[in-house]
């Protein structure tokens, strides 16, 4: 039975599938002439169709970003919801917790740096249970497969992919980029105005878009399941501190 992360993933993936089904219908209608809405006088122009096809890259990246946000939030929540202490965490996860508490990635003056260091030392000396926190995810806007795997390794989770998933996720699809890297590039190019939506969708086919979507979804499902196993087995803790 799917866990809560996979259930949420499937809900967001269904939006991508609904959009692809719309593009299927659009492509089918185009076989008998320029598609148009029922009772409408003006058919869709090639530019409008190109813009619609490009929209899938925004939806796919929304799926990637939502998946990683939920996974990291679930990891942080699991570690702070069982009266665990910093000493209970595995070394990788403890390092990430320290980054958050000590705010090591924030620009600040010496006084504020000392303030955060004092807070950290008090938590460690008093051995207080972990409070709610958010993992420093970095990577936002750039979640390709390499960055996802690096983030998971930072908390002690080495992602193991089946040969089928690895081939789908790592095979170069276009411009020497795999599917996730391509989604990131095109999403960022659109977001930063480097290309127009029409340019992005100009040479795309629904068959090609479905392949990119399927390979991206296959990889993300593996990530979600790995994170759920990691949490269920309490692998965010040192082996000796995990519940029997």
Q: Are residues 73 and 92 both part of a single domain? A: no
Share of the chain above pLDDT 70, in %: 94
Q: Are residues 209 and 104 both part of a single domain? A: no
Q: Are residues 59 and 140 both part of a single domain? A: yes
Average pLDDT of 19-41? 77
Confidence (pLDDT) at 141: 63
Q: Is residue 89 part of a domain?
A: yes
More confident residue, 244 or 135: 135
Confidence (pLDDT) at 43: 80
Q: By residue range, what is the domain housing residue 179?
A: 4-84+135-236
Q: Is residue 243 part of a domain?
A: no
Q: Are residues 61 and 112 both part of a single domain? A: no
Q: Are residues 232 and 180 both part of a single domain? A: yes
Residues paired with residue 237 on neighbouring β-strands, in sequence order: 89
Confidence (pLDDT) at 116: 81
Q: Per residue in 108-131, pLDDT tens?
A: 888 888 888 888 888 888 888 898
Q: Is residue 71 part of a domain?
A: yes
Overall pTM surpassing 0.95 (yes/no): no
Confidence (pLDDT) at 39: 63
Q: In terms of Cα–Cα distance, which of 159, 175, 161, 163 is closest to 212?
A: 175
Q: Per residue in 126-170, pLDDT tens?
A: 888 898 999 988 656 689 999 999 999 999 999 999 999 999 999
Q: Is residue 159 part of a domain?
A: yes
Domain finish residue from 107, 128, 149: 128
Q: Is residue 181 part of a domain?
A: yes
Q: Is residue 244 part of a domain?
A: no
Range 100-109, long-range pairs (CB < 8 A, 24+ positions):
100/133, 100/134, 100/135, 100/136, 101/133, 105/136
Q: Are residues 181 and 192 both part of a single domain? A: yes
Q: Is residue 221 part of a domain?
A: yes
């Amino acid at each position: 039975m799917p866990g809560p992360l996979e259930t949420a993933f499937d809900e967001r993936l269904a939006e991508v599938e609904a959009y692809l089904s719309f593009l299927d219908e659009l492509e089918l209608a185009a076989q008998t002439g320029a598609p148009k809405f029922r009772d409408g006088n003006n058919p869709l122009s090639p530019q409008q169709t190109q813009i619609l096809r490009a929209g899938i890259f925004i939806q796919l990246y929304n799926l990637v970003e939502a998946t990683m946000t939920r996974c990291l939030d679930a990891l942080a929540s699991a570690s702070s919801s069982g009266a665990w202490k910093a000493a209970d965490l595995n070394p990788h996860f403890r390092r990430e917790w320290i980054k958050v508490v000590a705010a090591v990635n924030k620009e600040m003056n010496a006084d504020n740096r000392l303030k955060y260091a004092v807070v950290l030392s008090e938590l460690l000396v008093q051995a207080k249970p972990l409070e709610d926190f958010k993992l420093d995810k970095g990577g936002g806007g750039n979640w390709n497969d390499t960055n996802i795997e690096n983030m998971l390794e930072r908390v002690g989770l080495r992602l193991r992919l089946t040969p089928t998933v690895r081939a789908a996720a790592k095979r170069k699809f276009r411009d020497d980029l795999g599917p996730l890297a391509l989604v990131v590039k095109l999403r960022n190019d659109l977001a930063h105005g480097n290309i127009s939506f029409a340019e992005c969708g100009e040479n795309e086919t629904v068959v090609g878009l479905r392949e990119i979507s399927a390979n991206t979804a296959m990889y993300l499902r593996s990530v979600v399941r790995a994170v759920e196993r990691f949490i269920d087995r309490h692998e965010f803790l040192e082996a000796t501190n995990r519940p029997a």
